[in-house]
């Protein structure tokens, strides 16, 4: 079976997709096992996945697989995580948005989504939470019944740690994943991590994917003509940049009280000023982003909101975002006032 699948798995472009295809997207943090999951399904072990922490997925990659009674209709979509080491989150969101919007315009809907999470991670925080939050907002409530939350890397737990895996899974289901489960998402384990279990998860998803609805991000971009930063998913990126700005602002305050020479202070502030400028530039870039289409699904007189609603992941239990006690405006002028002005 593995050899025949391997021979019949090939990468396809959007124009090669058909409206009756069973399109399944895989999402999750970098290193959660998205590419490995597809390698298991295609029998191409090691072709997409790597051993390091750096993302090997450079873009959206759709692979058509011929399997059993489904023929060649199954298309697996690999996506980069929102904590990529080489690219900004807003660029990754732009990439995913472009792909989803283009398929939506061709009347191709996602049949399902698989979100992968490492069970070896002791808690959901930082990039792990950001990926989950982005995923939930991108999907919306109407597609949650076609989502499976999959925990991976159970084989990395030794026998004495099994109870920790069970405990973490219970915490996920009872807290961070709870809003998704309440909207009919399923939960599964990639255990054992083999092709049989991977296909069992996919078939379980196909069996509940009779009705297809657009993801919330597709409605927001294509139907409602929103800019990327105005979408639910875009707001997650926008907030993370604002949090980064607050961190940078906090770093200024200790410098105000340091007894350094003027040249050292100028050097420190010059470095921080460059960081500010980069962050402000990213915020401006995100706000300016609009989605370009080959052929828009034109609904010029649409006077409604999106049919789907955002699913919000609880933030309780996360570290509090940094708070700034000051403001950027006037800081540099306060330390180094320009002469000749009141």
- Whether the CB-CB separation of 213 and 109 falls below 8 Å is answered with yes
Task: Write down the pLDDT at residue 218.
Answer: 73
Q: Provide the pLDDT confidence category of residue 146 given band limits of 50, 70 and 90.
A: very high
pLDDT at 6 over 60: no
What's the pLDDT tens digit per position in 87-110? Answer: 888 888 888 888 988 898 888 888
Task: Write down the pLDDT at residue 127.
Answer: 83
- Whether the CB-CB separation of 61 and 11 falls below 8 Å is answered with yes
DSSP string, 103-114: HHHTT----EEE
- Could you give the CA distance from residue 107 to residue 46 in angstroms, rounded to a whole number? 33
What's the pLDDT tens digit per position in 165-194? Answer: 999 999 999 999 999 999 999 999 999 999
Task: Write down the pLDDT at residue 226.
Answer: 63
Task: Write down the pLDDT at residue 326.
Answer: 39
Residue 13, beta-bridge partner list: none
- Whether the CB-CB separation of 228 and 93 falls below 8 Å is answered with yes
Q: Dihedral of CA 327/330/331/332: which sign? A: positive
Closest to 36 measured CA to CA, from 20, 56, 10, 22: 56
pLDDT at 240 over 60: yes
* Helical packing angle, 262-288 and 232-256, nearest 10°: 170
- Whether the CB-CB separation of 31 and 83 falls below 8 Å is answered with no
pLDDT at 303 over 50: no
Least confident of 63-67, 189-193, 330-334: 330-334
- CATH number for the domain formed by residue range(s) 1-342: 3.40.50.300
Task: Write down the pLDDT at residue 88.
Answer: 80
Strand order in the sheet with 9-12: 9-12, 61-65, 74-78, 22-27, 112-118, 147-152, 186-189
Task: Write down the pLDDT at residue 215.
Answer: 75
Task: Write down the pLDDT at residue 86.
Answer: 79
pLDDT at 324 over 50: no
- Whether the CB-CB separation of 115 and 149 falls below 8 Å is answered with yes
The structural domains of the chain, with segments of one domain joined by +, span: 1-342
Going from the C-alpha of 119 to that of each of 11, 33, 213, 325, the distances in angstroms are 29, 11, 30, 38
Q: What is the pTM of this model?
A: 0.71
């Amino acid at each position: 079976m593995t050899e025949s699948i391997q021979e019949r798995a090939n990468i396809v472009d959007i124009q090669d997709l058909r409206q009756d295809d069973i399109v399944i997207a895989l999402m999750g943090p970098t290193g959660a096992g998205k590419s490995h999951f597809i390698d298991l399904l295609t029998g191409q072990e090691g072709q997409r996945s790597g051993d390091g922490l750096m993302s090997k997925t450079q873009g959206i990659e759709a692979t058509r697989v011929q399997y059993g009674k489904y023929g060649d209709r199954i298309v697996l979509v690999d996506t980069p995580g929102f904590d990529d080491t080489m690219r900004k989150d807003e660029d990754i969101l732009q990439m995913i948005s472009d792909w989803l919007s283009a398929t939506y315009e061709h009347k191709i809907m996602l049949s399902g989504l698989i979100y992968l999470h490492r069970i070896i991670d002791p808690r959901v925080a930082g990039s792990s939470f950001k990926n989950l939050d982005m995923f939930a907002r991108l999907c919306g409530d109407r597609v949650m019944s076609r989502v499976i939350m999959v925990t991976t890397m159970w084989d990395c737990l030794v026998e004495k740690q099994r109870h920790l895996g069970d405990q973490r899974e219970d915490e996920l289901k009872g807290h961070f994943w709870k809003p998704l489960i309440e909207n009919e998402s399923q939960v599964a384990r990639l255990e054992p991590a083999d092709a049989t279990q991977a296909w069992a998860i996919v078939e379980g998803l196909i069996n509940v994917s009779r009705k297809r609805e657009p993801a919330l991000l597709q409605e927001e971009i294509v139907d409602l003509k929103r800019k990327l930063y105005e979408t639910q998913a875009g707001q997650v990126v926008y907030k993370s940049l604002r949090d980064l700005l607050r961190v940078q602002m906090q770093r200024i305050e200790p410098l105000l009280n340091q007894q350094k020479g003027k040249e050292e202070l100028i050097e420190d502030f010059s470095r921080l000023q460059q960081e500010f400028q980069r962050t402000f530039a990213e915020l401006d870039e995100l706000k300016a982003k609009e989605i370009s289409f080959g052929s828009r699904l034109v609904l010029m007189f649409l006077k409604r909101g999106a049919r789907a609603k955002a699913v919000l992941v609880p933030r309780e239990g996360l570290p509090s975002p940094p708070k700034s006690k000051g403001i950027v405006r006037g800081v540099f002028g306060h330390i180094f006032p320009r002469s000749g002005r009141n």
